[in-house]
Amino acid sequence: MARVSQEHLDARRRQILDGAARCFARDGFHATSMQDVLKEVGLSAGAVYRYFGGKEDLIAAIADEAVGGVRQAFERAARTSPPPTPDVLIGRVVRTLFGDEAHRRGGLDPRVYAGLIVQVWSEALRSERLAATLDEAYAGLRMSWARLVGVYRASGVLAAGVPDEDIVRTLIATAQGFITQLAMFGDAGPEVLENGLRGLMSMNLQKAS
C-alpha cells in the first residue's frame, strides 16, 4: 500500500476543519451533526474519524486555531525592532484573522468567521472540555503578549507602574471586543480599530487632569 504523504494528511485535515466551520457557522454547534459535516466535506465517516473523534474534537480544533492565529501574530510582532505601537499591533492581529487570507478560511467571510469565534466562547460556558482548551490557549497567549509588553518596557516607550498582566488583558479585551462587534454588527473593520486606538494614544493627559 502506498504511503500517504504528510502534505496529503494536512490537506485532508484542513478540508474537514473548513467544512465543519461552514456547518457550524451556518447552523450553530448544537444543530449541526457529524452527518452534516460528512455531507459538507464529501468524505466517509472513516475518513473523518481518522482525524477527529467527534464534534467536540472539531470545535476544540477550531477554537485552538483561532487563538493560535492571534498568538502567532503577536509573537511575530514581538520580534520586530522597534516594536509596533498598539494601534499597529492590534491592526496586524485582526487582519491575520479577518484579512484576505481569512476570506479563504473555510469559505467564510470575516463577519461569519467572527460569529463562529463568538459561538466558541459561548460554548465554553457549558463545555468543561472546551473551557479547558481555551484556558490553556489563552494562558499561552498571555505569555506571548507579556513578552511583547516587556519589549515595550525595555525600549522605554511604556511607563512603569502598571502591571504587565493588566496591559496584556486590556490588549486581549480590545481584540475580543472587535471580534464581537464584527460578529454582531458587521461594520467594524481593522482600520476602525487602528484609528480609534491611535486617537486614544494621542490624548493630552495633562489637559485631561
Distance CA 125, CA 176 (A): 16
192 three-state secondary structure: helix
Cell of 24: 457550524
Cell of 142: 498571555
Distance CA 166, CA 66 (A): 22
Question: If the chain, 209 residues long, is cut into consecutive pieces of 10 residues, what is the mean pLDDT of each piece?
Answer: 74 91 90 94 92 91 80 73 82 78 64 87 89 86 84 80 88 89 86 90 73
Q: Which residue is associated with the grid cell 483561532?
A: 66
The pTM score is 0.82
Side-chain-side CA neighbours of residue 115 (13 Å): 18
Distance CA 51, CA 207 (A): 59
pLDDT value of residue 85:
85
